Chain A
């Protein structure tokens, strides 16, 4: 799907063997275990998973926002910078400047008592050192870029005067204020109505293409992934179980977990087909089953699955799966 050739100069972020340990009463809990990610300019990478899969922790690690006491391992390369080693002070210059972020709920991401102008210009003036007048022009341009109707008039308004979708657009404008190279969007449309969702996703996709922004979208919603993500990594219990180009991955999942997730969704063309949920509840990092973490819930599990952790290996060009079986052979989607 990527229109750009993958050369070293266009790679924005590389993550190698990322691990995150969170402190607990007993031994630290490994919530993310050996995650590799690649994001190129102008590309959307999707990180999919259920709660406890480590998807949000991975995003927080890339923003320097992990809870106190968290220990990280592995390597990152964000345009030559090692993110995992940044000090608090260095993070202040990076987060919001080179890496923008959009959260799920735009009402809590925006300050309810400050005008839109203040929220946009404060940010721009701090990071880009612009005059008040230039900052205002920049704010109008940002609001225009996120396709807010009446950008000039909106500057004097407050967040509560906008609908959820418009607020999320303003939150995106704030995230883009300092021309970041990477945008991390954590469940950007989960709090929005379906009718508004499409508009925000379209905007993200357009921004990505028009200004060559690299975007990481974190969500459990595979429908969202299908529309915006070029590549997709599916997380389960802190590890990537499958990754590859979104279209191939959703049309022919190779890992039983991805297959299970898709089977539990209503089929677009066969509404009478029953929903087939994955049995049981997601594994939590605190009690991760031995071997393959999915084995207690997996329809394809064999005795050896409870002993040996399968490696994430290439199963087709560009496709990685951490399972030797091919559930797509067992039936079609």
Chain B
């Protein structure tokens, strides 16, 4: 059984005096334990909204979010079932997601308190273990967040997520706010933890080069929908959707070659008023008449044993 399953999830934001925005318009995905799923796309494509819906921070407008086979209770007035603490999040900015006035050890122990199974006198030892798991010294427990660098603070956030003994971690741009050398450290750490502790990792990022490195499978989103899904190496070596192709082609390489990638023409359309037909048709270099009127379904790629899915009429040409 998949540890996390999203079935046709949509999230609509209601705005005063303005039309509703459907940030996520029917997305399905599955995440297995020990698997790293990279969720990529431009800003405004709905990837963060999807991450929040997957963790229960937002209630989907339609569709189901299943955690270990049972629907996730969205955050609300009622307490969430205890087992849902095993879905954890790591956010972009460790400065704002840690409490600056509480000791690091106490913040990590919160997750242990939730788990309740641990006698309070054993907690200190477990906190120290968790700090070491994320590559920090056990003495960090008695210090405050401001005493650490950005990368170390993100390690503390990861330790806090691990304290609740998660089977899913949703990491929303976990390395974007960090220094260059810390980015690789945190990416490697998340990768190793997912594999070693058998945790499903939903890795949301706009940094495609890092996703290529750590994700087993990748989902490319455009304007609230999945454009392409498949095993990372295959999507990279042969992107089938013109949008994935453009995204991957826009990655800059620090190889000194001075190569300037082609910019994708136009802009992401207003999600409150998506284009007719295929959502990418206004910017697509391979647009056909059919794309302007009919929306292509997300379909398995023939001859690929169902591993890859693409939503593009080119597949039918």
Contacts and interface: CB of A to CB of B under 8 A. Distances in A.
B33 interface: no
Interface of B: 42-43, 149-152, 179-185, 187-188, 206, 208-210, 212-213, 233, 236, 246-247, 250-264, 267-268
Given A164-B43, A195-B42, A276-B184, 16 more contacts: A50-B179, A50-B180, A163-B268, A194-B247, A198-B262, A226-B254, A247-B257, A248-B256, A250-B254, A251-B256, A261-B181, A264-B185, A268-B255, A271-B212, A275-B184, A282-B181
15 contacts: A194-B208, A195-B263, A197-B252, A199-B263, A202-B260, A223-B251, A223-B252, A223-B254, A226-B252, A226-B256, A251-B256, A264-B184, A265-B184, A277-B184, A281-B179
A53 to B, nearest CB: 9
Contacts of B255: 226, 250-251, 268
Most buried by B among A201, A220, A225, A275: A275
Q: How large is the interface on A (under 10, 10 to 19, 20 to 34, 35 or more residues)?
A: 35 or more
Most buried by A among B208, B233, B258, B268: B258
A250 B247 CA distance: 24
B253 A223 contact: yes
Contacts, number: 127
B254 A262 contact: yes
A285 interface: no
Contacts of B261: 198, 227
B44 to A, nearest CB: 9
Contacts of A223: 251-254
A224 interface: yes
A77 interface: no
Contacts of B246: 195
A164 B268 CA distance: 10
Nearest to B210: A266
Interface of A: 1, 50-51, 163-166, 193-199, 201-202, 205, 220-227, 246-251, 260-262, 264-266, 268, 271, 274-278, 281-282
A271 B233 CA distance: 9
A277 B253 contact: no
A277 B263 contact: no
Contact of A246 (B152, B251, B256): B256
B257 A226 contact: yes
Nearest to B179: A50
B191 to A, nearest CB: 9
Contacts of A1: 258
A205 B263 CA distance: 14
A194 B179 contact: no
Contact of B151 (A196, A202, A276, A281): A281
Contact of B252 (A227, A264, A281): A227
A264 B181 contact: yes
Contacts of B254: 222-223, 225-226, 250, 262, 265
A221 B179 CA distance: 10
B247 A195 contact: yes
A202 B258 contact: no
Contacts of B256: 226, 246-251
B217 to A, nearest CB: 15
A198 B253 contact: no
Contacts of B149: 281-282
A268 B246 CA distance: 16
Contacts of B264: 195-196
B255 to A, nearest CB: 6
Nearest to A166: B267
Most buried by A among B188, B254, B260: B254
Given A50-B180, A246-B258, A274 B188 contact: yes
B236 A271 contact: yes
Nearest to B40: A194
Nearest to A262: B254
Contacts of B151: 281
B250 to A, nearest CB: 4
Contacts of B210: 266
B142 to A, nearest CB: 19
B263 A196 contact: yes
Which 9 pairs across A and B sit closest by C-beta, in order of nearness? A223-B252, A250-B256, A199-B263, A222-B254, A281-B149, A264-B184, A277-B184, A268-B253, A247-B256
A106 to B, nearest CB: 13
B262 A264 contact: no
B180 A261 contact: yes
B188 A205 contact: no
B151 to A, nearest CB: 6
